[in-house]
C-alpha cells in the first residue's frame, strides 16, 4: 500500500540532493571539526558553507547563525538565555498563549523560578494583536517572544509589527520561525527580530538539527557549558552530518521557495474548499488567508481526532490531530482552546500539512476516503446521534 504523508509538520522527506551532500560526511569525511589536522579543516569549511547558506536563507550574517539540535533547543536557549543575561533589566517576559511546547514549557519553567509572564491572548483566527504586546510592556520587561507561524493552525503572526514595537522600547525580540524559515520568505531585517529559531526538517533537511539566529550585540547566556565550539556560544561537538544537510536544504529552499509555494497553495485550497463543502459540521481553523502554504487545519465536530488519525492510517494516509507532538495524548490542543474553541470541539482536530511530494492524486485519495470514515465514527457517537435527532425534530 502506498503511504501518503499529509503530516509534514512532524517530518518532511529529505531531498535526494540533501542526502547526497550528507553521504561523504557519513563515510570518508568522518571527523571532528575541532581537530587541527587537515580533515578537521575540511569539515570546518563544510560547516561554514552550511552556515553561509542558512544565513542567506533569512538575510542574516554568517556569524549570527549558531547550529543547534533543532527548534526545541533554539527556543529553550533563546528564552532562557536572554532572560538570564538580562536579569538586571528586569524579570518580566511577554509571550503568546499559542506557542509551541518548546517555548511554552521553557517559559513555564522560568515562571516557576519567579519570572513574571504575560501570556498574550489570540483572536478567533489565532492572531496576536500587536497593540496587546505594547500594552503588556513594563519597565521590567526583559524579552518578547512570539512565534512567526503556528504549526497547528498555520496562522502567520504580525511579527514585523511586533518587532517595531520591540525596537521602540529597545527590547530583545525572539520569534520561533520553525514553521516558516525555508517555507515562506523570512528576513530578519524586515521582521525586526533579534533572535529567530529554525529547524531543517520543514524545508526538507534532516530531523534533529536546527539553528538560532542571534543578532550581533544581543545579550544571551550560553545554553550549555563545555567546549568552545560555535565560537563559545554552543558547547558540544557539532552534528556535522545534520548541519551539512541543513545547509544544502537551505541553499535549495532559497531558490525553489516560490515554486514550492505555487505548488502547495492550490492543493491546500482544494482541501479547504472540498472538505468544508462535502462534510457537515467541519470548520477550518486558523486564518483564512494569512496562513502557511501547506497547512489545512480543521475541527470535525462530534468525533475525536485520534480516531480519524487511526482510520486514515489504515488506508496509508498519515495525518496529525492537534499538535503532532501530543498525538499520543487525548488532551485538547492549547492552541485551539486559546482561540476560544470549546474542549469537545477541539478534540476533533484534523491537521493536514502538505509537502512538495504530494500530488493531486494524494488529495483525491484523501477526499474519497475521509467522508465515509467520518460518517462511520459519527454513527458510533452518542453526541452526534443526539444532534441529528434535534435537527430532525426541529
* Binding stretches for ligand PMP (CB under 6 A): 9, 70-72, 75, 100, 102, 147, 151, 176, 178-179, 199, 210, 324-325
Give whichever of 73 and 194 is closer to ligand PMP, judged by the CB atom: 73
CB of 249 to ligand PMP, least distance (A): 13
Give whichever of 44 and 102 is closer to ligand PMP, judged by the CB atom: 102
Catalytic, 325? Answer: yes
CB of 82 to ligand PMP, least distance (A): 17
The residue behind cell 511546547 is 101
CB of 170 to ligand PMP, least distance (A): 26
Say if residues 162 and 130 touch (Cβ distance below 8 Å).
Answer: yes
Give whichever of 311 and 322 is closer to ligand PMP, judged by the CB atom: 322
CB of 309 to ligand PMP, least distance (A): 16
Going by C-alpha positions, the residue among 253, 365, 276 that lies closest to residue 318 is 365
The residue behind cell 527548534 is 71
Give whichever of 172 and 242 is closer to ligand PMP, judged by the CB atom: 242
CB of 334 to ligand PMP, least distance (A): 13
Catalytic-labelled residue, pool 117, 261, 325, 387:
325
Give whichever of 99 and 251 is closer to ligand PMP, judged by the CB atom: 99
CB of 311 to ligand PMP, least distance (A): 23
Q: What is the dihedral of CA 49, 51, 57, 58, to 10 degrees?
A: -150
- Distance CA(289)–CA(42), nearest Å, equals 46
Give whichever of 78 and 279 is closer to ligand PMP, judged by the CB atom: 78
- Distance CA(124)–CA(170), nearest Å, equals 30
Set of cell numbers at residue 241: 552530518
CB of 46 to ligand PMP, least distance (A): 21
Q: Which residue's beta carbon is nearest to the bound ligand PMP?
A: 71
The residue behind cell 470535525 is 300
Give whichever of 210 and 286 is closer to ligand PMP, judged by the CB atom: 210
- Distance CA(166)–CA(182), nearest Å, equals 24
- Distance CA(91)–CA(89), nearest Å, equals 7
- Distance CA(388)–CA(391), nearest Å, equals 5
Going by C-alpha positions, the residue among 150, 153, 158, 169 that lies closest to residue 129 is 158
The residue behind cell 563515510 is 27
Between CA 347 and CA 353, with CA 350 as vertex, the angle to 5 degrees is 145
Give the DSSP per-residue string, 299-312.
EETTS-HHHHHHHH
The residue behind cell 467541519 is 282
Give whichever of 209 and 303 is closer to ligand PMP, judged by the CB atom: 209
SS3 of residue 173 by DSSP: strand
Between CA 122 and CA 124, with CA 123 as vertex, the angle to 5 degrees is 125
Phi, psi of 19 (to 5 degrees): -60, -40
Is the Cα dihedral 28, 32, 37, 38 positive or negative? positive
CB of 254 to ligand PMP, least distance (A): 20
Catalytic residues, by residue number, are 325
Amino acid at each position: 500500500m502506498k503511504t501518503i504523508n499529509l503530516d509534514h509538520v512532524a517530518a518532511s522527506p529529505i531531498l535526494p540532493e540533501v542526502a547526497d551532500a550528507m553521504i561523504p560526511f557519513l563515510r570518508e569525511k568522518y571527523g571532528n571539526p575541532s581537530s587541527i589536522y587537515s580533515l578537521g579543516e575540511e569539515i570546518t569549511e563544510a560547516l561554514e558553507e552550511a552556515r553561509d547558506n542558512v544565513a542567506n536563507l533569512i538575510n542574516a550574517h554568517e556569524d549570527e547563525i549558531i547550529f543547534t539540535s533543532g527548534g526545541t533547543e533554539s527556543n529553550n536557549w533563546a528564552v532562557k538565555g536572554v532572560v538570564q543575561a538580562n536579569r538586571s533589566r528586569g524579570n518580566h517576559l511577554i509571550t503568546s498563549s499559542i506557542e509551541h511546547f518548546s517555548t511554552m514549557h521553557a517559559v513555564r519553567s522560568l515562571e516557576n523560578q519567579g519570572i513574571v509572564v504575560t501570556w498574550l491572548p489570540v483572536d478567533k483566527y489565532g492572531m496576536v494583536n500587536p497593540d496587546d504586546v505594547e500594552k503588556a510592556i513594563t519597565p521590567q520587561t526583559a524579552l518578547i517572544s512570539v512565534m512567526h507561524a503556528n504549526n497547528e493552525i498555520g496562522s502567520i503572526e504580525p511579527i514585523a509589527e511586533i518587532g517595531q514595537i520591540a525596537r521602540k522600547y529597545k527590547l530583545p525580540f525572539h520569534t520561533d520561525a520553525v514553521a516558516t524559515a525555508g517555507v515562506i520568505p523570512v528576513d530578519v531585517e524586515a521582521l525586526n527580530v533579534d533572535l529567530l529559531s529554525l529547524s531543517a526538517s520543514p524545508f526538507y533537511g534532516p530531523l534533529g538539527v536546527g539553528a538560532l539566529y542571534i543578532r550581533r550585540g544581543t545579550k544571551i547566556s550560553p545554553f550549555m557549558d563545555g567546549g568552545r565550539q560555535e565560537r563559545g556560544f554552543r558547547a558540544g561537538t557539532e552534528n556535522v552530518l545534520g548541519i551539512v544537510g541543513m545547509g544544502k536544504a537551505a541553499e535549495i529552499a532559497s531558490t525553489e521557495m516560490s515554486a514550492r509555494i505555487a505548488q502547495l497553495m492550490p492543493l491546500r485550497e482544494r482541501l479547504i474548499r472540498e472538505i468544508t463543502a462535502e462534510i457537515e459540521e467541519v470548520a477550518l481553523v486558523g486564518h483564512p488567508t494569512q496562513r502557511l502554504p501547506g497547512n489545512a487545519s480543521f475541527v470535525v465536530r462530534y468525533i475525536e481526532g485520534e480516531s480519524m488519525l487511526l482510520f486514515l492510517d489504515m488506508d496509508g494516509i498519515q495525518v496529525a490531530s492537534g499538535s503532532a507532538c501530543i498525538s499520543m495524548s487525548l488532551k485538547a490542543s492549547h492552541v485551539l482552546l486559546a482561540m476560544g474553541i470549546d474542549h469537545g470541539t477541539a478534540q476533533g482536530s484534523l491537521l493536514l500539512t502538505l509537502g512538495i511530494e504530494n500530488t493531486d492524486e494524494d488529495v483525491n485519495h484523501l477526499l474519497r476516503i475521509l467522508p465515509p470514515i467520518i460518517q462511520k465514527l459519527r454513527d458510533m457517537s452518542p453526541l452526534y446521534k443526539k444532534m441529528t435527532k434535534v435537527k430532525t425534530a426541529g
